[in-house]
Structure 1
Amino acid sequence: MDSNERRQQVEDLPIYKKGEEIYQMTRKICDLFPEDNEHLQFIKGQILSDAGMLTAKVAGAEGGDLYDLRMEAAAIIRKAARDLMVSNHSLEMFGFEEVEYFDIVRDLIEEYRLLFIDWVAGFDQWNYIIDRWGLFNPPGVGPFDKDPDDDIPFNPDDFFGEDD
């Protein structure tokens, strides 16, 4: 499969599509922020960054494919989505008059959350390397466990050939 086919496969995932929908809606709402409100302009950057993470990290997780990398991406996605969920409070505090529009984003994030649960449940727990930090190991694997790959004999000369 070439890179264009792989990219299309990722972009066809329901979670990716919903993330893109959230980003587009967030962008439309952010376009309503007054240009002269420094606080809202700063929040705009944060909100758009969080919304962008929802697709970027899905793509990265799909490309990485290892359990620990996928779980790390999932944790970042979760944080970004949760930050987006509470952004309406900051918008209200700094005078955004159309804050009720952000409820649309919150509803989309709830739909995304349900897709996220199914997506994470599909991660292959047997395709992993041990996370020595101990955060993203599959169930039953610890950061101090012996790596089973250490038992595989490897002689670089057999693999790469001897230099003359």
Structure 2
Amino acid sequence: MFEEEDDIPDSRNLPIFKKGMEIAELVRALVDLIPEDNEILQEVGVWMMNDAHNLAVKVSGAEAGDLYDIKMECAAIIRRSARELVVQTHSLEMHGFEETQYFQLLRDAVEEYRLLFIDWIETFDPWNYIIDRWGLFNPPGVGPHDQDPDDLY
């Protein structure tokens, strides 16, 4: 498919990937402020780091996957991870984290990411698919019980 290695798309150049990496750095800085002796806050910090890394890793997975259902599955994980990051700030606060003045920076970054996400998913080709027999990530108009068009020939 690709003639040379230079022809392979690099997800690291996408604005959504770059914003995901920026959010991961922001979350790392926030997590570094968690007191080491607070196990509950440390655990929330681990969850936050996992979710933050999903924002870039799953973009790469979607871009490498190429098929519509793979891209949509990665997009769903990204959406959940981004939303969880905001929810987890409430968990931090609820369990006594004192550096809450940084939360708005994270919320603003996630909102910027959300807007990039909307543009990014518009680039997915709904006609490059295999039927998702689980029924979650089919393009519009395709159902899990439909006959595979490749089986018609």
- Per the alignment, residue 33 of structure 1 pairs with 34
Which amino acid is the alignment partner of residue 51 of structure 2?
A: D
| Offset at residue 34 of structure 1 (A) | 0.2
Please, which runs of 5 or more residues in structure 1 have no aligned partner?
A: 153-164
Per-residue CA deviations over 1:83-111 (Å, capped at 9, x if unaligned) read 00111110111111001212111100000
| Offset at residue 151 of structure 1 (A) | 2.0
| Offset at residue 6 of structure 1 (A) | 3.6
Which amino acid is the alignment partner of residue 144 of structure 1?
A: H
Compare 127-136 and 87-96 and name the one that shifted more: 87-96
Which has the greater radius of gyration?
Answer: 1
- Per the alignment, residue 91 of structure 1 pairs with 92
**1:138 aligned onto 2:148:** no
Q: Distance in 1 between matches of 2:40 and 2:7?
A: 41
Task: After TM superposition, list the pairs within 5 Å mapping 1:4-153 onto structure 2.
Answer: 6=8, 9-152=10-153
What number of residue pairs does the alignment pair up?
A: 150
Which aligned segments of 4 or more residues in structure 1 are displaced greater than 6 angstroms? none
* TM-aligned CA distance change 1:132 to 1:22, over 3 Å: same
Which amino acid is the alignment partner of residue 129 of structure 1?
A: I
| Offset at residue 5 of structure 1 (A) | 6.4
Please, which runs of 5 or more residues in structure 2 have no aligned partner?
A: none
Compare 97-106 and 61-70 and name the one that shifted more: 97-106
Q: Distance in 2 between matches of 1:111 and 1:5?
A: 29
SS of 2:41's partner is helix
Per-residue CA deviations over 1:3-47 (Å, capped at 9, x if unaligned) read x7647x210100000000000010011001000000011001000
What value does the CA root-mean-square deviation take over the aligned residues? Answer: 1.2
Q: Distance in 1 between matches of 2:8 and 2:41?
A: 37
Compare 44-53 and 86-95 and name the one that shifted more: 86-95
Compare 74-83 and 95-104 and name the one that shifted more: 95-104
| Offset at residue 67 of structure 1 (A) | 0.1
Q: Distance in 1 between matches of 2:87 and 2:37?
A: 23
SS of 1:47's partner is helix
